[in-house]
Amino acid sequence: MRVVFAGTPEFSVLCLEACRASGVEVVAVYTQPDRPAGRGRKLTPSPVKQAALAANIPVEQPESLKTVEARATLEAYRPDLMVVVAYGLILSRKVLAIPRLGCWNVHASLLPRWRGAAPIQRAILAGDSESGVDLMQMEAGLDTGPVLLERRTPITREDTGGSLHDRLSLLGADVLAEGLRRTLAGETLQVTPQSDDGVMYAHKLEKAEARLDFSRSALALERQVHAFDPWPVAEGDIAGENVRIWVAHALDQPHHTASGSVIAAQRDGIDVACGEGVLRITALQRAGGKRITAADYLNARPELRSNR
């Protein structure tokens, strides 16, 4: 079976490896064009491109798949199946019709909840108790196609965008490997249409969303801190200084203090009053500095220290 793989970020790499290990022939990899990255803004290949080049797989990086030329290039690979994992381009009906078996998508949510670009972070922000990965038969709508296979995982209060990302990446490779194995064995996977109920859209993350508003509940801010680790990283004011906040936990603790005020500050954390409850900050980062513990921060700002 000839497979074209389309993906871009680190999340997609394990799925590419699962394709290669499954026994199919990965005839080409499609990925986003190289983008500027780092302080030097040097053009950098995507993680998927790096993995493809290391495996000697031809790489295509069109800006769009809407042109006749782009579709002709894809057709020339004579794909039986196209596997799409966080590619970053919308596929038209004409593109979806090129592979004999159509196109599969590995999506990091339990559809129809969290269709769209940032399902992992949106699930944490919303306080979802569960997430997962769906293997979906693609159609023209945004993540609207029927589900072929699914894997589920609980979301704990300790999960971050990074930890859930890594777990779902593993589950994505696992569910894709099963789909390929069963298809190679001659099985036709059962399709389950998505429900019209419970549809939620996971809009792309914006840096402005990372700003903490201490008039909100401590639990909502805890979720914000966790969801935006490792990007874009939550930030807020501690006694007049804007800092990035890496780790924080909500305390169900009543108070009669103005939101945003530091209630207590010791080695085990800096407690900030919220609209409801208290947010204990245990790891943070000053402007131009590196990530440090609350204890190290208080060494630099001893005036904040307090006794509980």
Q: Which residues are annotated as a binding site?
A: 109-112
Summarize the annotated binding site for (6S)-5,6,7,8-tetrahydrofolate as residue ranges: 109-112
d(C-alpha 101, C-alpha 74), whole Å: 14
Largest CA distance in the chain: 71
d(C-alpha 12, C-alpha 46), whole Å: 10
Chain CA centroid to CA 53, Å: 24
User: What's the burial of 81, exposed, middle or buried (CB within 10 Å: 0-12/13-18/19+)?
Assistant: buried
In a 3-state reduction of DSSP, which class is residue 223?
A: helix
Q: For residue 221, report the phi and psi dihedrals to the nearest 5 degrees.
A: -70, -35
Hunting for tokens 């000053």 — which residue is that?
286
d(C-alpha 150, C-alpha 241), whole Å: 45
> Which CA distances in Å does 267 have to 12, 247, 294, 303?
39, 14, 6, 13
Nearest to 127 by CA among 234, 251, 218: 218
Q: Which residues of 35-45 are buried (b: 16+ CB within 10 A; e: fewer)?
A: eeeeeeeeeeb
3-state helix, strand, coil in the chain (%, to 5): 30, 30, 40
Nearest to 91 by CA among 142, 45, 132, 29: 142
Count of all residues that appear for the chain in the document:
308
In a 3-state reduction of DSSP, which class is residue 3?
A: strand
